[in-house]
Amino acid sequence: MLSAVLHPGLLVIAGGLALAACSGRLRAVIALGAPLAAAALVVAAPDGVLWSGSYLGFEIVPYSVDRLSRLFALIFAVMAFGGALFALKQPSRLELPAALVYAGSAIGATLAGDVVTLFVFWELMAVGSTLVIWSAATPSAYRASMRYMAIHLLGGVVLLAGIAGHVSGTGSAAFVRFALDTPAHWLILAGFLVNAGTPPLSAWLPDAYPEASWSGMVFLSAFTTKTAVYVLLRGFPGAELLIWIGLFMVFYGIIYALLENDMRRILAYSIVNQVGFMVTGVGIGTEAALNGAAAHAFTHILYKALLIMSAGSVLYATGRRKCSDLGGLFRTMPFTTICGAVGALSISSFPLTSGFVSKSLTIQAAGDQQLLAVWLLLGAASAGVFLHAGIKYPWFVFFQKDSGLRPPDPPLSMRLGMALFAVLSIGLGVFYEPLYALLPFAVDYVPYTGWHVVSQLQLLMFSGLAFFAMLPLLRRTLTITLDTDWTYRRLAPALVDGLAAALEMAGAALARAAHALSGGIVGFVERHHGIEGVLARTWTTGGMALWVALMLAAYLLVYYL
């Protein structure tokens, strides 16, 4: 059996390491071949435990497969292939190897049957993704990668503490469903949520991802957050808290994306928004909702990568990221415009796109459970997705005003990467049965009914009306909007500076007081023992005799008393 010797994740990681030494045609063959081989391995792998062993007395399972892990490992492998195709023109010698190590670690994390293996791949992902950001080789990318790594190492430590608590409490390292009953399990949840981009530690995502290169952000958009969705699906299905966390993420993403001027930061906030839908599905926790979250992760990886590829092509061609500098690019970049529009329609869940057949599963599940508030909020959020990612992004980048820029469409390998994901996004929207067949539970939902199509079209078309009617309110300005990263980029340094200044002042005051005190002592000593001091000056013999007589008298007095 091939699966006894070959692990899809390790295969992609090995491919990435080999890639570092390759160039030219061999580089392309390995970069495309390793993810393809991994995809084939994942599809061919049978259900069950494939690798197991023991480590520190615990049973560990580095390779186990079920329906859920196969779904995620497969889409990660497909994503690595499409991303590598798009990135073939990337001159950086570091980025593609790092991206494959990152992708392979994500595949490894989804195939991990125990929490120790999961943690190892989890940390390897942090290293790989940091290197992907780093390889953009700009000063701002370097600084962002350091902030990114700090947050992920913090998340890793929290997760490790939780895992250690869980293993010592239960004596088992198996990756099972956790109840929120012990501090250890809360820590595990917190560690997972850091990678999902959950507020308050969410700003790492829009802070760091847009600083990557035109191809680097494509990889980043897929693996970290979706691995987090996967572990939440496996570890915390039905944890009600996740409904509210997810809904918060959904609206946080929309609001910040609406305020944003940088096209790649718009798409980064949109990742948080989309992951919010999935987290909400995990929180609802019924089979239909878990199917919805899993299907949404699958399709989201494709259309979000497509959107970020179109933005990457614009960045590649123009060197610009700000909406206020862009516009009118449809004239000379028709291919990129069409691919970007397909991604925009898919993320908005237009009928005949992959978003329509996946996101509606979650919303339907909320309705089935008669969760009116959740259902209403998800509906408003769907309208908001069309607003920020479906229209705002393509409108300001490709249409809007004529910026005067006339860049050409990108090179063939980049166009092929976009074409592949555009075809998949439409294809899965039309032929959705293969996707439904891959989901963890049997699907009892028909996406294409007259009612579903009409109500979705109403929602989206009237959202479009709201966008164009309120366009003056959405005019782009050269601004950013403060996010929680302000606390560690401005507040914490200010506090440290303030503390340093206060300590300096206190030190100076202390020195002054010490000086005054020592001056006083010196004066006292000098008054008494100095040249003219009372105890140092020459005394007369008579005076001495008088003092001796007085002391003798005092002694006699005390003696007789």
Partner 1 sequence: MNDHWLARPTTVRLLWGAFIAALALTVAAEFVVEHEAQFTLERVFGFSAWYGLLACAALILFSKGLGAFFKRPDDYYGEQDGDA
Residue ranges in contact with partner 1 by CB under 8 A = 138-140, 143, 251, 254-256, 258-259, 261-262, 319-322, 325, 328, 330-331, 364, 367-368, 370, 372, 375-376, 379-380, 383-384, 386-387, 402, 449-467, 470, 473-474, 477-482, 489-490
Q: Which is nearer to partner 1, 471 or 544 (CB)?
A: 471
Whole-angstrom Cα distance, residue 387 to residue 486?
A: 26
CB-wise, 66 or 325, nearer to partner 1? 325
Q: Supply the minimum distance, in Å, between the C-beta of residue 215 and partner 1.
A: 15
C-alpha to C-alpha distance for 286 and 369, rounded to whole angstroms = 9
Contacts of 357 (CB under 8 A, 6+ apart): 295, 299, 428, 429, 432, 435, 436, 447
Least separation in angstroms between residue 245's CB and partner 1 is 19
Q: Give 8 or 447: the residue with its C-beta nearer to partner 1.
A: 447
Question: Is 93 or 489 the residue whose CB approaches partner 1 more closely?
Answer: 489
Smallest distance, partner 1 to C-beta of residue 496, A:
16
Beta carbon of residue 284, minimum distance to partner 1 (angstroms, whole number): 14
In angstroms, rounded to a whole number, what is the distance separating the alpha carbons of residues 166 and 174?
A: 10
In sign, the C-alpha dihedral spanning 400, 402, 405, 407 is: positive
Where does 376-454 show beta strands of DSSP type E? none
Residue among 150 and 545 whose Cβ is closer to partner 1: 150
Closest CA to 350 of 340, 336, 360, 363: 360
**Terminus-to-terminus CA distance in the chain, angstroms?**
112
**Does residue 290 contact residue 277 with C-beta atoms inside 8 Å?**
no
Give the nearest distance from C-beta 473 to partner 1 in angstroms: 6
Beta carbons within 10 angstroms of residue 91's beta carbon:
7
Closest separation between CB of residue 341 and partner 1, Å?
Answer: 13
Q: Closest distance between partner 1 and the C-beta of residue 412, in Å?
A: 24
CB of 211 to partner 1, least distance (A): 9
Please identify, using beta-carbon distances, which residue of 176 and 380 lies nearer to partner 1: 380
Token digits of residue 452: 């579903």
Answer yes or no: are the C-beta atoms of 12 and 98 closer than 8 Å.
no
Closest CA to 432 of 305, 296, 546: 296
Q: Which residue has the tokens 């956790």?
A: 178
By the 8 A CB rule, do 187 and 158 touch? yes
How many Å apart are CA 204 and CA 201, to the nearest integer? Answer: 7
- Could you tell me the smallest distance in angstroms from the CB atom of residue 301 to partner 1? 25
Q: Which is nearer to partner 1, 465 or 550 (CB)?
A: 465
Q: Smaller CB distance to partner 1: residue 137 or 516?
A: 137
21-34 core/surface letters (b: 16 or more CB in 10 A; e: else): ebeeeebbebbbeb
C-alpha to C-alpha distances, 262 to 259, 271, 311, 397, 510, nearest whole angstrom: 10, 14, 10, 10, 50
Nearer to partner 1, 462 or 555 (CB): 462
